[in-house]
Amino acid sequence: MDKIIKDSIANNIPTNIQGRVWRFGKNIDTDLIIAARYLNTTDEKVLASHLMEDARNGFISMIQSGDIIVADENFGCGSSREHAPIAIKAAGISAVIAPYFARIFYRNAFNTGLLVLELEEVDRIKEGDVLSIDILKGTILNKTTNEIYNFKTIPEFMLKLLSAGGLMEYAAKNKID
């Protein structure tokens, strides 16, 4: 990635993110992220207020802005719904980390401006750990254990989507019909 793109991205998205970890297992599907009974709204605050309520009772009352979800493989599987990454982002979660994501969730996350990172070593990260993510260096520092992990490189176009705030914002900014 060239310096101009890095500078542009650095000016538009936080490149150093720090947050407390909330752990989830494998195959967390979109119905667990935001239950189907809430799909009749697009109000981000309403969606955020019901984030993960069927996976962990009271989750929304425990999290703080900037917290990070770390899950095992196949996060976001199940039905295709943009409501899931919208709810996560609107709740103040700064990033979701997993070994791999359901592909439609991965794309929907970037389309809605939610940072998702692929990392194999999620088993080394525990709930309550504090992570510091450097997007441009491609590293995650576990400040609790002092371990450093390298996440899978984010494609340049996906970084541009994040920088713009999502796909719609990117299209508007670049005058794409």
Determine contact, residues 96/68, Cβ cutoff 8 Å: yes
pLDDT of 164: 85
Tell me the per-residue pLDDT of 74-108, one tens digit each, with 9 for 90 and over.
Answer: 999 998 889 999 999 999 999 999 999 999 999 99
More confident residue, 98 or 5: 98
Mean pLDDT of the chain: 91
Tell me the per-residue pLDDT of 41-54, one tens digit each, with 9 for 90 and over.
Answer: 999 999 999 999 99
Residue 14 pLDDT grade (very low, low, confident, very high; cuts 50, 70, 90):
low
Highest mean predicted confidence (pLDDT) among 15-19, 24-28, 39-43, 136-140: 24-28
Determine contact, residues 66/18, Cβ cutoff 8 Å: yes
pLDDT of 72: 98
Select from 120, 127, 129 the least CA-distant residue to 149.
120
The one-letter amino acid at 170: Y
pLDDT of 4: 44
Strand pairing category for 68-71 and 16-24: parallel
- What H or E segment, with its residue span, contains residue 16? strand 16-24
Tell me the per-residue pLDDT of 129-164, one tens digit each, with 9 for 90 and over.
Answer: 999 999 889 999 999 999 999 999 998 888 888 888
Domain boundaries, the chain: 15-153
The CATH architecture assigned to 15-153 reads: Alpha-Beta Barrel (3.20)
